[in-house]
């Protein structure tokens, strides 16, 4: 085995195991959450200094709050947008995109709305919670690219006069049916699922690893801390940053590729 300085034997063994699983798999998918974007500077919503410390989510992130006072909610959305627009994809996003070249990688199912997988080059991204880079008119359903809409006056409006809302799932809204269906199909047909940067506690995304497991897939989680997956469905739990683990996996797979 090749010695990689600074990496412990146990860490190495986990990468070797993950590489073997990825090599054997006929269909690999990933489920990602907020943890993968933390190293891109996207602030976590929950916890200390999170956006929800400053803005009560029941007042700002619920669809009813938006419908009641879209201008007020847009003040928070504009602040969030400032942080998100400065963010860039990190090594983990790029590695997932590279997995398409070196493994039987099929799709990324993401709970994130930050567009970073798409920017990193992943060709199939299932947006479980939508994408804040698109705005949708609540009256006529017309979609706008966010960059084509001025936020000088809030809330921004469609040419028809309707209020524009980020095309992302608010509390109280359903998961887009098409994304839900595609995610289920991917979970049921994969033989390896990488759960990255998510504790997978929020339904219905939380059911995806279990759905994959029931259909015979191997479940690998890459999370900094133990989650509810660790002692339940995870076959392998790698408690390190995805910005290290995923590039290491890509590198190992490149080495074994002809």
Q: Which residues bind Zn ion (CB under 5 A)?
A: 137, 139-140, 142, 158, 160, 162
Q: Name which of 54 and 142 has its Cβ closer to Zn ion.
A: 142
Listed in sequence order, the residues at least 6 apart from 222 whose beta carbon sits closer than 8 Å to its beta carbon are 194, 195, 196, 197, 238, 240, 242, 245, 246
Shortest Å distance, C-beta 139 to Zn ion:
5
209 contacts 224 by C-beta, under 8 angstroms: no
The residue assigned the tokens 């509810």 is 228
Q: Taking the CA of residue 43 as centre, how many other CA atoms within 13 Å lie in the half-sphere pointing to its CB?
A: 16
Angstrom distance (rounded) from CA 102 to CA 254: 6
Report, in Å, the least distance between residue 7 CB and Zn ion.
54
Q: Is 26 a catalytic residue?
A: no
For Zn ion, the closer of residues 140 and 202 by Cβ is 140
Give CB contacts under 8 A, 24+ apart, made by 146-155: 146/81, 151/74, 151/78, 151/81, 154/70, 154/71, 154/74, 154/75, 154/78, 155/70, 155/71, 155/73, 155/74
Residue 221, strand partner residues: 195, 237
Query: In terms of CB distance, is 67 or 239 closer to Zn ion?
Result: 67
**CB of residue 142 vs Zn ion: minimum separation in angstroms?**
5
Active-site residue, selected from the candidate residues 93, 98, 129, 148: 129
193/215 Cα distance (integer angstroms): 11
The least distance separating Zn ion from the CB of residue 159, rounded to whole angstroms, comes to: 7
Name which of 165 and 213 has its Cβ closer to Zn ion.
Answer: 165
Cis geometry, peptide bond prior to residue 155 (ω within 30 degrees of 0):
yes
- Of the two residues 142 and 254, which places its CB atom closer to Zn ion in the complex? 142
In angstroms, give the least distance from the CB of 158 to Zn ion: 3
- Residues catalogued as catalytic: 129
């Amino acid at each position: 085995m090749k010695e990689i300085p600074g990496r412990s034997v146990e860490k190495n063994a986990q990468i070797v195991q993950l590489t073997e699983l990825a090599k054997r798999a006929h269909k690999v998918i990933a489920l990602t959450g907020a943890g993968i974007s933390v190293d891109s500077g996207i602030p976590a919503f929950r916890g200390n200094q999170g956006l929800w410390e400053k803005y009560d989510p029941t007042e700002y992130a619920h669809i009813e709050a938006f419908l009641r006072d879209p201008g007020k909610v847009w003040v928070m959305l504009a602040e969030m947008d400032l942080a998100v627009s400065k963010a860039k994809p990190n090594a983990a996003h790029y590695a997932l995109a590279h997995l398409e070249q070196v493994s039987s990688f099929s799709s990324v199912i993401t709970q994130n709305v930050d567009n970073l997988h798409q920017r990193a080059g992943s060709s199939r991204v299932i947006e479980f919670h939508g994408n804040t880079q698109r705005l949708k008119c609540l009256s006529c359903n017309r979609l706008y690219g966010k960059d084509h809409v001025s936020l000088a006056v809030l809330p921004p409006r469609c040419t028809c006069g309707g209020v524009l809302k980020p095309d992302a799932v608010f509390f109280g809204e359903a998961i887009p049916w098409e994304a839900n269906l595609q995610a289920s199909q991917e979970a049921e047909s994969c033989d390896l699922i990488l759960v990255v940067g998510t504790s997978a506690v929020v339904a219905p995304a939380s059911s995806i690893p279990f759905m994959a497991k029931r259909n015979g897939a191997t479940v690998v989680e890459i999370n900094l801390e133990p989650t509810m997956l660790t002692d339940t469905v995870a076959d392998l739990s790698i408690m390190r940053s995805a910005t290290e683990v995923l590039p290491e996996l890509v590198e190992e797979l490149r080495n074994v590729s002809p």
